[in-house]
Amino acid sequence: MRHRSWALISLSFVAGGNSVASSAQNPPSKPLGQTAMQTEYLLKLKTTLKAEDRKKLFKKYTFQEVQKVGSTELYLIRVSSKLSLKEIQDKIKNESTISYIERNTMYHTQKGTAPNPTE
């Protein structure tokens, strides 16, 4: 009796569509919990720019300013293009006014938005 129940459990893992091996071979098309916030980033400028110059810079790269973070030159932005983070970093790497850009995985605005899920 004991061998029979073990065999049934083993068979269900081998034959079942939800088996561990099956899910590892066929990952979901997008991570669980991913929302429309997937294009939200934190952008750090090297220096303070006039509002007009910052708007030109953001327009050049299709960045939408959501909010300035504190009194630093850190901005919560959204990117309207479908580029990956790596592609965006490659585009801005020669921009002398930008220090870095990274996915927003922790900063929450007062408007109730949540950060991006981690990759």
Strand pairing report for 74-79 and 40-45: antiparallel
pTM over 0.75, yes/no: no
Q: Which residue has the tokens 């090297």?
A: 46
What is the C-alpha to C-alpha distance for residues 35 and 15, in angstroms, rounded to an integer?
33
Give the pLDDT confidence of 52-66 residue by residue, as tens digits: 999 999 999 999 999
Order of strands, sheet of 63-69, starting from the edge strand that comes earlier in the sequence: 63-69, 74-79, 40-45, 98-103
Q: Which residue has the tokens 């269900």?
A: 12
Q: How many domains does the chain have?
A: 1
Give the pLDDT confidence of 9-34 residue by residue, as tens digits: 443 334 444 433 433 444 434 443 44
In a domain? residue 57: yes
Residue 61 and residue 88 in contact, taking contact as beta carbons nearer than 8 Å: yes
Q: For position 47, which CATH number holds?
A: 3.30.70.80
